[in-house]
Amino acid sequence: MQGSQHRSGSLPRSCFVELMLFHSEHAAMWNDTDTPLAYFISFRSYGTWLHGDKRGAIDRVHNRYRTPYLPSDAKWLQYNVQQLKTEPLILKARHRKAVEAAIRETCDIRKWFLQALNVRTNHVHSVVSANRRSGLVLNAFKANATRKLRENALWPHPFSPWADKGSKRKLWNERSVARAIDYVLKGQGDDLPEFDD
Please check the confidence at residue 28 and state whether its pLDDT lies above 70: no
> Please, what sign has the CA dihedral across residues 141, 86, 120, 75?
positive
Q: Convert the pLDDT of each residue in 110-162 to its tens digit.
A: 999 999 999 999 999 999 999 999 999 999 999 999 999 999 999 999 999 99
- Pick the more confident residue, 101 or 17: 101
CB 66 within 8 A of CB 151: no
Mean pLDDT of 19-41: 66
Q: CA dist 154 to 6, 44, 108, 145, 196, Å?
A: 24, 16, 23, 11, 13
Residue at 123: amino acid letter:
H
| 20 beta partners | none
- Does the pTM surpass 0.85? The reply is no
pLDDT at 191 over 70: yes
Show the domains of the chain with their CATH numbers.
13-46+89-186 (3.30.70.1290), 48-83 (no CATH)
| CA dist list (Å): 6 to 9, 27, 37, 117 | 9, 22, 16, 8
Neighbours of 105 (CB within 10 A): 14
> Per residue in 47-96, pLDDT tens?
887 766 677 676 666 666 667 777 777 787 687 778 879 999 999 999 99
Cα 175 from Cα 156, distance rounded (Å): 41
